[in-house]
Chain A
Amino acid sequence: MKTLILKTASNYLLPVLLVFSVFILLRGHYLPGGGFVGGLIAAIAFVLHAFANGLDNTKGLLRFHPGFLMPIGLGLAFLSGLAPVLGLDDPFMTGLWFPDPFPVIGNVGSALFFDIGVYLVVVGVTLTIIFTISESA
């Protein structure tokens, strides 16, 4: 699509949407949100950018194949589940929490890292699917 408005807007929207997706991700433990929705929003940011600027530009922006995010995300989620097993001999996926809340972010625990893992997997899967389809179309 070659409209100047969309092209200009998408350059500004990309960082805004990415920050928003991180906000949704961090909000997710007690309120609506979380890794899955956050990941979808981040993927939408890139898809919008690809619409306006062409697929190749977006790929150049990403620098690596989005599919690579899948194993990284899965690995992160796996490690967050494994941490209590290795550290405290608690069952798999037991929540570990820092005692004091961090500024801005709030309470940080292993659940956050699991959610970040989900976020990365969703971004990776969605972008891989959309890029593959638009390449073959």
Chain B
Amino acid sequence: MTQQLIFYPLLLQMLLAILLMFFWRKINIQRVISMLGSIVHLAVSIGVFAYVWNNGTQTVQAGSWEAPFGITFVADTFAMTMVLLTSIAGLAVSIFSSGSVIGDRLRFGYFPIFHFLLLGLTGAFLTGDIFNLYVWFEIIIISSFVLITIGGEKAQLEGAVKYFTLNFLASMIFLTAIAVLYGLTGSLNMADLANKVAAVENRALVEITAILFLIGFGIKSAIFPLYFWLPASYHTPPSAVSAIFGGLLTKVGVYALIRVFTLIFVGDVFLDQILLVLAIFTLFSGALGALVQNNIRKVFSYLIICHIGYMIIGLGMFTEVAIAGTIFYLVHDIVVKTNLFMISGLVYRIKGSNSMRALGGFYANYPMLSLLMFIPLFSLVGIPPLSGFWPKISLITASFDSESYWSLAAIIFASFITLVVIAKLWAEVFWKDATEIPERPKFRYYHKIKNIKKVQIIVPIVFLSLVSLYIGFGAEHIQTLSTRIASELMDNQQYIDAVLNPQITK
């Protein structure tokens, strides 16, 4: 059974989604299945991760069709790390959803769709076939359309239209890029593509294809100048949905960018320069956008954009140290961003508002909760020894090494602005005296809901804060992991051999 170990996270998520569909209207059963299933999924992911860590890259050919003709599933350390993070964030949001999402929304199939979304994410991380990657992206966006519109409030639909249009466009561009690539090489298997693209003589066409991929994934991962759909839509759905979107959806775009630009389009100086410039602008525009916002969730949305810049800048520098920084940042960011949106949900439950000007007095009224919220907020800023600090060392070292002083300036500027933004948020929401917000009738305030719901809202925040603390204090482990992933990514021959000549590597 170990041969197909890497299928298990995928199959389990699919099983959960189907099982939940049988209980379409019975939301209490759905809550239990979703939570227990997510715990099992986390356990399975840890198991498979440990196996891949000890035994190296694993591959399986779906349907036993040989590579490069069949669809390969590849679990290298990078893919398994992402699957593991998906299951951590998935577990947290699953618990948080059952506490915070209202029954009217859950009755429209919230949990089945949520698990289909996680299925799509897991599949996108594990696949080794570029067209299959497109299919997983479709599963992700179709599920996310449902999640973003579920409940059907006016603001939600408005945000959803923007989200839908831009993501649909991105999928079209992605599909076009695949078509051009297939026309050039006659293959869709990523390892096979890596060999064949290197041999193509028409370099200009290869570069144009790469740019098409960059635009497609760039819209999905919200890099400059294609990010404007994100702050327009992420603050509209329930915060549980924002949490999984903010934590994972843009990151799957970053994952695809890293995968494609370290495996297929390698060593093109022109592309690296473009990535670097885009990353610098992303850092600037995201940071400045966050500075002027008042709604907490919009602030976090702009910070997502800003911090995508850190990951792309490492990819643009394309040295082992820089890629290690990118991976570390990715690990840190998924956990923290998921947590931050859940915190915005908690704040909303307590006060019935997400406006920084209207909020206040949290530290005086809820000292323990404030302490809890302190961890992810200041992990995001990267105050040592919290988790956001460590990847920046790698990135700054890398920009010194490659003498890319503009990137250095952008990294420091964005960190500084993040600090300003979070400090402002802390001063407004936590330290400022409490203001009177008119009580909303029919709104289910935090102090009115049942204790079990309170636990379901607090536990995932504590859980992810502990993970953040581990990333900060156990930075050595994560650094070892990122360095190993970076060295695997820089040497793409390893990936190619694992897919095309599995006998040699085993």
Q: Is the CB of A91 within 8 A of B62?
A: yes
Q: Is the CB of A91 within 8 A of B14?
A: no
Q: Is the CB of B18 within 8 A of A78?
A: yes
Given contacts A78-B14, A78-B15, A82-B11, contact A92 B4 (CB under 8 A): yes
Q: Which of A6-14, A42-50, A51-59, A67-75 contacts B (4 or more CB under 8 A)?
A: A67-75
Contact of A89 among B4, B17, B18, B24 (CB under 8 A): B4
Complex-state Cα separation, A93 to B17, whole angstroms: 18
Complex-state Cα separation, A78 to B15, whole angstroms: 8
Q: Is the CB of A91 within 8 A of B11?
A: no
Whether, in the assembled complex, B21 has its beta carbon less than 8 Å from a beta carbon of chain A, the answer is yes
Complex-state Cα separation, A90 to B70, whole angstroms: 14
Contact of B21 among A71, A89, A91, A95 (CB under 8 A): A71
Complex-state Cα separation, A9 to B63, whole angstroms: 44
Whether, in the assembled complex, B503 has its beta carbon less than 8 Å from a beta carbon of chain A, the answer is no
Q: Is the CB of A85 within 8 A of B62?
A: no
Complex-state Cα separation, A70 to B20, whole angstroms: 12
Given contacts A67-B24, A82-B11, contact A91 B4 (CB under 8 A): yes
Q: Is the CB of A93 within 8 A of B21?
A: no
Q: Is the CB of A91 within 8 A of B7?
A: yes
Q: Is the CB of A94 within 8 A of B21?
A: no
Given contacts A67-B24, A71-B21, A85-B7, contact A93 B15 (CB under 8 A): no
- A-B CB contacts (within 8 Å), total count: 43
Q: Which residues of B contact A82 (CB under 8 A)?
A: 11
Whether, in the assembled complex, B1 has its beta carbon less than 8 Å from a beta carbon of chain A, the answer is yes
Q: Which residues of A contact B4 (CB under 8 A)?
A: 85, 89, 91-92
Q: What string of 1s and 0s marks CB contacts (under 8 Å) between B13-27 and chain A? A: 011011001101000
Q: Is the CB of B63 within 8 A of A93?
A: yes
Contact of B7 among A78, A92, A95 (CB under 8 A): A92
Q: Which residues of B contact A89 (CB under 8 A)?
A: 1, 3-4
Nearest-CB residue, chain B, relative to A77: B18
Contact of B63 among A71, A74, A95 (CB under 8 A): A95
Whether, in the assembled complex, B61 has its beta carbon less than 8 Å from a beta carbon of chain A, the answer is yes
Most buried by B among A91, A93, A94: A91
Complex-state Cα separation, A110 to B374, whole angstroms: 54
- CB of A59 to closest CB in B, whole Å: 17
Contact of B64 among A70, A74, A90 (CB under 8 A): A90
Q: Is the CB of B18 within 8 A of A75?
A: yes
- CB of B470 to closest CB in A, whole Å: 33
Whether, in the assembled complex, B303 has its beta carbon less than 8 Å from a beta carbon of chain A, the answer is no
Q: What string of 1s and 0s marks CB contacts (under 8 Å) between A77-121 and chain B? A: 010001001000111111100000000000000000000000000
Q: Which residues of B contact A78 (CB under 8 A)?
A: 11, 14-15, 18
Nearest-CB residue, chain A, relative to B20: A71
Q: What string of 1s and 0s marks CB contacts (under 8 Å) between B46-76 and chain A? A: 0000000000000011111000000000000
Q: Is the CB of A91 within 8 A of B1?
A: no
Complex-state Cα separation, A70 to B17, whole angstroms: 12
Most buried by B among A70, A71, A85, A94: A71
Q: Which residues of A contact B24 (CB under 8 A)?
A: 67, 71
- CB of A9 to closest CB in B, whole Å: 35
Nearest-CB residue, chain B, relative to A94: B64
Q: Which residues of B contact A90 (CB under 8 A)?
A: 64
Q: Which residues of A contact B3 (CB under 8 A)?
A: 89, 91
Complex-state Cα separation, A67 to B112, whole angstroms: 14
Q: Which residues of B contact A91 (CB under 8 A)?
A: 3-4, 7, 60-64
Q: Which residues of A contact B22 (CB under 8 A)?
A: 71, 75
Nearest-CB residue, chain B, relative to A67: B24
Complex-state Cα separation, A71 to B3, whole angstroms: 28
Complex-state Cα separation, A75 to B11, whole angstroms: 12
Complex-state Cα separation, A95 to B61, whole angstroms: 13
Q: Is the CB of B1 within 8 A of A74?
A: no
Nearest-CB residue, chain A, relative to B22: A71
Nearest-CB residue, chain B, relative to A82: B11
- CB of B83 to closest CB in A, whole Å: 16
Q: Which residues of A contact B7 (CB under 8 A)?
A: 85, 91-92
Q: Is the CB of A70 within 8 A of B21?
A: yes
- CB of A129 to closest CB in B, whole Å: 14
Q: Is the CB of B62 within 8 A of A74?
A: no
- CB of B422 to closest CB in A, whole Å: 44
- CB of B303 to closest CB in A, whole Å: 38
Nearest-CB residue, chain B, relative to A74: B18
Complex-state Cα separation, A125 to B383, whole angstroms: 51
Complex-state Cα separation, A8 to B24, whole angstroms: 36
Complex-state Cα separation, A90 to B65, whole angstroms: 11
Q: Which residues of B contact A85 (CB under 8 A)?
A: 4, 7, 11
What are 15 A-B pairs at a CB distance below 8 A? A67-B24, A70-B21, A71-B21, A74-B18, A75-B18, A78-B15, A85-B7, A89-B1, A91-B3, A91-B62, A91-B63, A92-B4, A93-B62, A94-B63, A95-B64
* Besides A89-B3, A91-B61, 8 new A-B residue pairs in contact (Cβ under 8 A), listed by A number: A78-B18, A89-B1, A91-B3, A91-B63, A92-B4, A92-B63, A94-B64, A95-B64
The 9 closest A-B pairs by CB, nearest first: A71-B21, A93-B63, A94-B64, A74-B18, A71-B22, A91-B60, A92-B7, A75-B18, A93-B62
